[in-house]
A and B are shown apart, each in its own frame.
Chain A
Amino acid sequence: MATIDTLSPEPEAHDDHGHDHDHPPWLAHHFDTPEQQFDSGKLGIWLFLVTEILFFSGMFCAYAMFRMLRPEIFEGSSQFLDTKLGAINTGVLLFSSLTMAWAVRCSQTGEHKKLVVMIASTLSCAMVFLGVKTIEYSHKWGMGLLFPGAYFYDENNPHPTTEQLVSQHGFSENTAYFLTHSIYFLCAPFLLLLVGVVIWAIIAKVKKNDFQFAVAKPLVVVCLSFFGGVGLGMILTGSEEHAEGSHVAAAHHDAGEHDHAGAGEATESIAATYTEPTTFNPASDDAAVELLAESDLNTGAKAMLLAQEKQAELASGRVVAPGEDVDMGIERIERGVETKRQAGVFFGIYYCMTGVHAIHILGGIGVLVWLLVRAIRHDFNRQYFGPVDYVGLYWHLVDLIWIYLFPLLYLIR
């Protein structure tokens, strides 16, 4: 078959080294035994995982640092993250890890059919994860829960329209449209992908190219599961929206009021709120949010409140962020700066961490598709299952990082 020939990894390497007679085709010329090849690959992927861990450690370090410096902001901002979606995504990733580990087993035992199924379900889980993530991201972008440079969340109007974004927050038309309609922009590439894969499947079917059809078939399911994830996310947020969202909005509103009214008597109110945790009733959800609202006020001591005021004054003078409307009144800018100082820190780190993690998921999807093709080609056997194992290890690491990200970002109380 032509397809198989073109895909085969390195045809010329064996021409060069004709003297390696006993080398099976999957054993590279410079290795003596399959085991040596496997051990080398395994050590290589472990070292790569080490680099990945250190790569993420930078962001964990930034997270720990800012959380240490501003615990209240992290508590408060974390309320905007949907624990349900996070938990679902955790489950999805754990399941994908299971199927991946199972896939490794299948490749070792030579169960080719099952191997394809396992890799395809791992891929589908990855897509579901991204789908749910899409909902999370687009939801937050619409509300303006962004990194400090573009943060525009307003508790009075959590879902501003495109026009409001342009007129009140000084975004350009295009950016504002993107922010309010981000879900479509995020879904579009996957939709294109789906359409492409479906067309490919149909062509392969019509041309009776069994191999291509065998590859395209699971990929259609994989692409569809992205939209499954989107749907799942929508259903879960839909029910959540009114319950928690309004609480949070109220809480935030409260905090805002406090900040403005209470700047003068900051000392007293801080003293008052500090005593509160002892009388806190864990049973009531409302009380928890209330408390958070108040501890939002705790954002440090008197010095910091004063500093904020001062910062705000400076802001009106010269520190005008690119996204801000210069015509705004002092009052409004002051609040803008104040919210940026607070929630933006959290969201900056949140987007960095989850974004880089999502990029790793995308990369994982890429290599898994490659693995799927090779699995359908029956490339693997109990002497040569290295690639499945290596990709598996990478995938588990991505899962491992999410295992830490989930409680650190979503479960701050």
Chain B
Amino acid sequence: MATHGHSDDGTDFAHPLPVWLLLTVFFALVFLTIITVAQSNLNLGSYDIAVVMLIATMKAALVGAFFMHLAYDKPFNVIVFLSSFVFVALFVIITLSDSKLTSPSFEPKFDEPATGELER
């Protein structure tokens, strides 16, 4: 019915992704998942969290760019989505840094006599 009204290239806003692209992205994601599980058996010390988050962010970028169509979307939508992370960062970083600065006072403190008693 009305389906064919605008289906000429000019007014068409649908942008179907090719199947091969979807499959490639999926396998890349699975591959990254395997890597992230595998690396957890290695001891990377303090880099561990950085590596894990890097892989997760790569996966998130893949999902965002292709599955969520961001690579072909309106720039405004991309800005909206990315700006949310700015606010998350703001929130998390300030709260965390304050909590880090106050963490010495975080542990319960007790009067001297009690400590002495325990050390007997």
Contacts and interface: CB of A to CB of B under 8 A. Distances in A.
Q: Do chains A and B touch in the complex (CB under 8 A)?
A: yes
Interface of A: 24, 34-35, 38-39, 42-43, 46-47, 49-50, 53-54, 57-58, 60-61, 64-65, 68-69, 83, 87, 90-91, 94-95, 97-98, 100-102, 104-105, 108-110, 277, 280, 282, 300, 303-304, 306-307, 309-311, 381-383, 385, 389, 392-393, 396-397, 399-400, 403-404, 406-408, 411, 413
Nearest to B104: A303
Interface of B: 1-3, 5-7, 11-17, 19, 22-23, 25-26, 29-30, 33, 36-37, 40-43, 45, 48, 52-53, 55-56, 59-60, 63-64, 66-69, 73-74, 76-77, 80-81, 83-85, 87-88, 91-92, 95-96, 99-100, 103, 106-110, 114-115, 118-119
Contact of A404 (B17, B41, B60, B68): B60
B14 A68 contact: no
15 contacts: A43-B77, A53-B88, A54-B88, A61-B91, A65-B95, A68-B103, A97-B26, A100-B67, A101-B66, A101-B67, A109-B16, A304-B107, A307-B109, A382-B12, A404-B53
Given A65-B99, A393-B69, A404-B60, 13 more contacts: A35-B11, A42-B74, A57-B92, A60-B92, A61-B91, A97-B67, A98-B22, A101-B22, A104-B17, A108-B15, A282-B42, A396-B63, A407-B36
9 closest Cβ pairs, A-B complex: A24-B2, A50-B84, A411-B40, A108-B14, A57-B88, A98-B26, A407-B52, A108-B16, A101-B67
Contacts of B95: 61, 65
Interface of A is mostly: helix
A313 B64 CA distance: 52
Nearest to A397: B68
B26 A95 contact: yes
A306 B29 CA distance: 47
A24 B7 CA distance: 14
A43 B80 contact: yes
B36 A64 contact: no
Contact of A411 (B37, B80, B107): B37
Contacts, number: 173
Contacts of B23: 98
A53 B22 contact: no
A50 B80 CA distance: 7
A130 to B, nearest CB: 19
B16 A68 contact: no
Contact of B74 (A39, A87, A109): A39
A383 B8 CA distance: 11
Contacts of B29: 94, 97
A407 B13 CA distance: 37
A101 B17 contact: yes
Nearest to A57: B88
